[in-house]
Amino acid sequence: MLTILFDGVAYGMLLFVLAIGLCVTLGLMNFINLAHGAFAMAGGYLTIVMMNRYGISFYWGLPAAFVFSALLGVVLERTLYVHLYTKSHLDQVLFSIGLVFMATAVVDYFMGANQQTINLPPSLEGRVNFLGASIGVYRIFTIILCGLLTVGLQFVLSKTRFGSRLRAAVDDGRVARGMGIDVTRIFAVTFAVGSGLAGLGGALSTGIISMDPTFPLKYMIYFLIVISVGGSTTITGPFFASLLLGVADVAGKYYVPAVGGFIIYTIMVVVLILRPQGLFTRASR
């Protein structure tokens, strides 16, 4: 029972770190970036290459994945995305889904189509007993790391100067600019951090699942479910939505394996019927 809870929470946390960057771009910057999973894939593959080809430790792989994906995010934001901020949502969707297909083909060409995994360092392997339940060390590591990230993000957004500038830039870009806020730079930094978090999530997920070139497409559905259930205007919304979905998914598959795969979609449908604006968002502004 406790094992199931922990597995579910770990899975949910992972979903959260993977999806949070998308929440930021969608909710705060009002930009639909379906290519978000591609940044996660970049981080995941970087970790795999570092560990399997060069024998570098997993602990270095995580920050490297963050930095690599963030840099990739900045470059693409400055060169490509910036032209689409003012375009319609349909253009943004078409553009970013095209980017996904390109990313898939590029990774396929360089890394091959087969699933690739890493071997975790011994300190993260194995299981420990906790209140009579056997829990994977790596899942605990994931929970702690993602928990810290959430607290940190929430703090930055709500308590720091950067956070209030960002919110100002989003609410009314023109006025914010008039007040001397460098909106362009703030958006670039935010986009980079979002991409970096995706990369970190990708690197973390190589420890549980494997990477293959279709990763961005496979996970796009999960990201979108997290955001549609949690709403995209806060960080806490997607956070609780991820946990809910993670736990419901794992528990559902455990207790009623016959319908397990459908539970997360059922939750999404029910939430969208009852609260179309998302579970944790106030009714539309």
Q: In terms of CB distance, is 27 or 246 closer to other proteins?
A: 246
Q: How far apart are the first and last CA of the chain?
A: 41
In the bound state with other proteins, the residue whose beta carbon lies nearer, of 82 and 251, is 251
Runs of H (alpha helix) within the chain: 2-23, 36-54, 58-79, 89-111, 137-159, 161-171, 173-178, 183-205, 215-230, 236-255, 263-274
Output 108 or 275, the one with its CB closest to other proteins: 108
- Measured from the CB of residue 144, what is the shortest distance to other proteins in angstroms? 17
Which residues contact other proteins (rule: CB under 8 A)?
Answer: 3-4, 7, 11, 52, 104-105, 108, 112-117, 119, 125-127, 134, 136, 138, 208-210, 212-214, 218-219, 249-254, 257-258, 260-261
If the CB atoms of residues 77 and 212 are measured against other proteins, the closer one turns out to be 212
Q: How far is CA 92 from the centre of its chain?
A: 19
CB of 267 to other proteins, least distance (A): 15
Tokens of 4: 């199931």
The distance of closest approach from Cβ of residue 58 to other proteins in the complex, given in angstroms and rounded to an integer, is 14
Q: What would the two tokens of residue 12 be?
A: 């949910």
CB-count burial class (<10 Å; 0-12, 13-18, 19+) for 166: buried
The two three-digit tokens of residue 102, written as one number = 């390109």
Q: How far is CA 282 from the centre of its chain?
A: 23
Task: Give min distance, CB of 8 to other proteins, in A.
Answer: 8
* Of 105 and 151, CB closest to other proteins: 105
Minimum CB separation of residue 82 from other proteins in Å reads 30
8: CB partners within 8 A, 6+ apart: 243, 246, 247, 248, 249, 250, 251
Task: Tell the smallest beta-carbon distance from residue 61 to other proteins (Å).
Answer: 16
Of 237 and 246, CB closest to other proteins: 246
3-state secondary structure of 127: strand
**Cβ-based neighbours of 218, under 8 Å, separated by 6 or more:** 37
